[in-house]
Amino acid sequence: MRTVGRAPARAGRALLAALLVAGLPALSGCGVLPPMPEPVPTDIVPSAPVALSPAAGGDALSPDGFDAVERMAVRIRNVGCEELSTGSGFAIDDHTLITNKHVVADSRGLEVSTYDGHDITVGATSTAGLADLAVVRTTDPLPSFPELAEADPEPGDPVTVVGYPAGGELTVTRGEVMGSTRDPLNANLGEVLLTDAPVEPGSSGSAALDDKGRVIGVVYAKTADDNSLLVPLSTLQDMLADDTAFTPAKGC
């Protein structure tokens, strides 16, 4: 999450406190093997997992109690060249995630996990030159993705942000659109949206949704007075439609 004041400021990324490294003890000498397990019963039929189909709207509950907008949000851990940082992202189709450029920058590898803790294998990553946006293609299918709204929101419209602040648990925060402002971080981008929905470091790349669970923007920063800044949906759509807007991300 980037924090900006009234004047442009340099970006910052949330850092995780430490990496846990675990080792296995060496084995030596003779050991006693445990007994073999009992044979698997032949009269038990395992139940098949319930498929989570893409669904629009925030009220469609899955069997595990998560709604559609929660199932499309992912946690992103950037194992960077010099540090470890976290961010958020969201699916727009079965194999495509949207997040921020600063979430995936300077990366040795990205670790993506879903709302229920499943790891997703990442393929190619591309970043935008104009806005703080990135596209991450996944090898594994994503569990759910929302609809995109028909237009950018108006001042006073409700907004919901779904993401993983501080790389922790999935959170849902709400507020309303306050208006638009010139982007304080990317001078050539133009207008961005200002909302009072609470966001924190790690919320970068979260989807901002309307009251029907449709995407209206992408969280990329917060202001010094704790308001949130969004790349508008219209900007995201224009850039996705432009073959030259995204280029392969540079690693270490």
Question: SS3 for 48-116, per residue?
Answer: CCCCCCCCCCCCCECCCCCEHHHHCEEEEEEEECCCEEEEEEEEEECCEEEECHHHHCCEEEEEEECCC
How many separate domains does the chain show? Answer: 2
Q: Would 23 be classed as within a structural domain? A: no
Whether 198 and 167 share a structural domain:
yes
* Confidence class for position 2, pLDDT limits 50, 70, 90: low
- The pLDDT assigned to 22 comes to 33
**Which pLDDT value is given to residue 20?**
28
* Model pLDDT for residues 171-185, shown as the tens digit of each residue: 999 999 999 998 888
Amino acid 159: pLDDT: 96
Q: What is the pLDDT of residue 187?
A: 67
Claim to verify: residue 88 and residue 132 sit in the same structural domain: yes
Is the residue at 98 inside a domain? yes
Round to whole Å and give the CA distance between 126 and 97. 11
For residue 183, the model assigns a pLDDT of 85
Residues 231, 196: one domain?
Answer: yes
**Is residue 144 very low, low, confident or very high in pLDDT (cuts 50, 70, 90)?**
confident
pLDDT-derived band at 230 (thresholds 50, 70, 90) equals very high
Beta-strand pair 191-195/215-223: unpaired
Structure tokens at 201: 């470091």
- Between CA 58 and CA 69 the distance in angstroms is 5
Q: 138 with 244, same domain?
A: yes
Tell me the pLDDT band of 130, cut-offs 50, 70 and 90: confident
Please tell me the least confidently modeled range out of 59-63, 143-147, 174-178.
59-63
Residue 132 lies in a domain: yes
pLDDT at 136 over 90: yes
CA 63 to chain CA mean position, Å: 22
Mean pLDDT throughout 17-25? 31
Are the C-beta atoms of residues 196 and 177 closer than 8 Å to each other? no
Given this model, what pLDDT does residue 66 score? 54
How sure is the predictor about 74, in pLDDT bands with cuts at 50, 70 and 90? very high
**136 and 80 part of one domain:** yes
Among the ranges given (4-8, 40-44, 98-102, 245-249), the one the predictor scored with the smallest mean pLDDT: 40-44
Contact between residue 145 and residue 94 where contact means Cβ atoms under 8 Å apart: yes
| Residue 219 or 188, more confident | 219
User: Is 133's pLDDT higher than 90?
Assistant: yes
Classify residue 137: in a domain, yes or no.
yes
Q: What is the mean pLDDT of residues 18-29?
A: 32
Helix (H) or strand (E) holding 233: helix 233-240
Query: Is there a contact between 75 and 81 (Cβ–Cβ < 8 Å)?
Result: no
Query: Has residue 60 been placed in a domain?
Result: no
Q: What is the mean pLDDT of residues 202-229?
A: 93
- Residue 202 belongs to a domain with what CATH number? 2.40.10.10
Q: Are residues 162 and 102 in the same domain?
A: no
Residue keyed to tokens 């990496």: 19
160 and 222 co-located in one domain: yes
The domain of 177 spans 146-236
Residues 161 and 230 both lie in one domain: yes
Q: Is the pTM of this model over 0.85?
A: no
**Are 155 and 140 contained in the same domain?**
no
pLDDT for the residue numbered 67: 72
Query: Would you say residue 20 lies in a domain?
Result: no
Residue 185 structure tokens: 């971080």
Compute CA 40 distance to the chain's CA centroid, rounded to the nearest angstrom: 40
Same domain, residue pair 191 and 124: no
* Residue 1 included in any domain: no
For residue 201, pLDDT beyond 60 = yes
Domain shared by 91 and 159, yes or no: no
Cα distances from 132 to residues 16, 34, 235, in angstroms, run 21, 55, 11
pLDDT at 31: 41
Q: Span 234-248, mean pLDDT? A: 94
Residues 244, 221 share a domain: no
Task: Name residue 244's amino acid.
Answer: T
